[in-house]
């Protein structure tokens, strides 16, 4: 990372009114726009199961496929069709996808077991919807439920600092800038320390029980340890968080987690990806 001194750093003066013609650069510059809504007409495919998932095996997408595979492993009738949405190609801006998620982000779920069919978007909302639908992985007693939801919503609020903040400036921005990298690294290290201290006192995030909170947090912070997310493992010294490491590797051994990680994965070795998933045999 290039060091910048105050004397040679360029100062940016924002205009009075920001223009959408401003060149933002970076990996996602070609698809980012300051407006919402569909950009082209295309219907979504629909399979035979009540649950239709439109997603990609990013950390946010993996949360949901892990839960679905855990539900199936626990004996629940949670069969689903999973369809890939290539966000780098802008497929999240089709009219069909926008109808399921007006925010144009994966994952998005269409629950056709309800009348009328219900769309569910935002990964945390999908986790709660499915956990409540099947009565699993979300405590029903008031105190444990509050603890679980607190950690789930912590993940939803904290991870943008890891992904959109640290990940963007460390890995995707067109140039390395010291201030934003240091700013977001400070916060990510604080989050890692919080998780490590919490997991020093309990087996799972919410105590002795594996819940949707673990499924939500694991793909992001476990990804730093297992997958060297953003190639930042050494930079963040993730190996020093011993209790987080223990928790990460314990969850990685779960067969449903291993299966869920493959769903809607369109990159990597063939035996580690299943772009579409319509039955258990697609992962066997």
- 225-246 pLDDT, tens digit per residue, is 999 999 999 999 999 999 999 9
The residue-averaged pLDDT of 107-122 equals 98
**pLDDT bracket for residue 9 (50, 70, 90):** low
* CATH 3.40.30.10 domain residues, the chain: 51-137+262-282
Write the Ramachandran bin of 108: left for phi over 0, alpha for psi from -120 to 50, otherwise beta.
beta
Is the pLDDT at 30 greater than 80? The verdict is: no
pLDDT of residue 48: 98
The verdict on domain 51-137+262-282 having CATH code 3.40.366.10 is: no
Report the distance separating Cα 244 and Cα 136, nearest Å.
24
Is the pLDDT at 7 greater than 80? The verdict is: no
pLDDT of residue 22: 66
The residue-averaged pLDDT of 66-71 equals 98
CA distances from 235 to 27, 108, 225, 232, 241 (A): 21, 33, 12, 5, 13
Is the pLDDT at 4 greater than 60? The verdict is: no
Which residue from 8, 110, 135, 129 is spatially nearest to 51, judged by alpha carbons? Answer: 110
**pLDDT bracket for residue 8 (50, 70, 90):** low
pLDDT in tens, 147-197: 999 999 999 999 999 999 999 999 999 999 999 999 999 999 999 999 999
Is the pLDDT at 90 greater than 90? The verdict is: yes
* CATH 1.20.1050.10 domain residues, the chain: 142-252
Q: What is the CA radius of gyration of the chain?
A: 20
Number of Cβ within a 10 Å radius of residue 183: 14
| CATH numeric code, 142-252 | 1.20.1050.10
Q: State residue 144 phi and psi, 5-degree precision.
A: -60, -35
């Amino acid at each position: 990372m290039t060091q910048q001194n105050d004397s040679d750093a360029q100062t940016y003066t924002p205009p009075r009114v920001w223009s959408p013609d401003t060149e933002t650069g970076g990996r996602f510059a070609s698809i980012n726009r300051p407006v919402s809504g569909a950009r082209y007409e295309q219907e979504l495919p629909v399979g035979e199961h009540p649950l239709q998932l439109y997603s990609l095996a990013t950390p946010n997408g993996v949360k949901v496929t892990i839960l679905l595979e855990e539900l199936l492993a626990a004996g629940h009738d949670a069969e689903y069709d999973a369809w890939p949405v290539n966000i780098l190609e802008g497929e999240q801006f089709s009219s069909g996808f926008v109808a399921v998620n007006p925010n144009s982000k994966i994952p998005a779920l269409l629950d056709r077991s309800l009348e009328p069919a219900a769309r569910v978007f935002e990964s945390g909302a999908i986790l709660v919807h499915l956990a409540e639908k099947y009565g699993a992985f979300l405590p029903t007693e008031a105190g444990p439920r509050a603890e679980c939801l607190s950690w789930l919503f912590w993940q939803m609020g904290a991870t943008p600092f890891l992904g959109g903040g640290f990940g963007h400036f460390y890995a995707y921005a067109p140039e390395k800038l010291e201030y934003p990298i240091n700013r977001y690294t400070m916060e990510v290290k604080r989050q890692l320390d919080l998780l490590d201290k919490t997991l020093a006192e309990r087996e799972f995030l919410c105590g002795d029980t594996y819940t949707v909170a673990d499924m939500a947090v694991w793909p992001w912070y476990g990804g730093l340890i297992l997958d060297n997310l953003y190639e930042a493992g050494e930079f963040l010294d993730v190996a020093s968080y011993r209790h987080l490491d223990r928790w990460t590797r314990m969850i990685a051994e779960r067969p449903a987690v291993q299966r869920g990680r493959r769903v809607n994965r369109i990159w990597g070795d063939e035996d580690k990806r299943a772009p579409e998933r319509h039955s258990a045999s697609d992962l066997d």
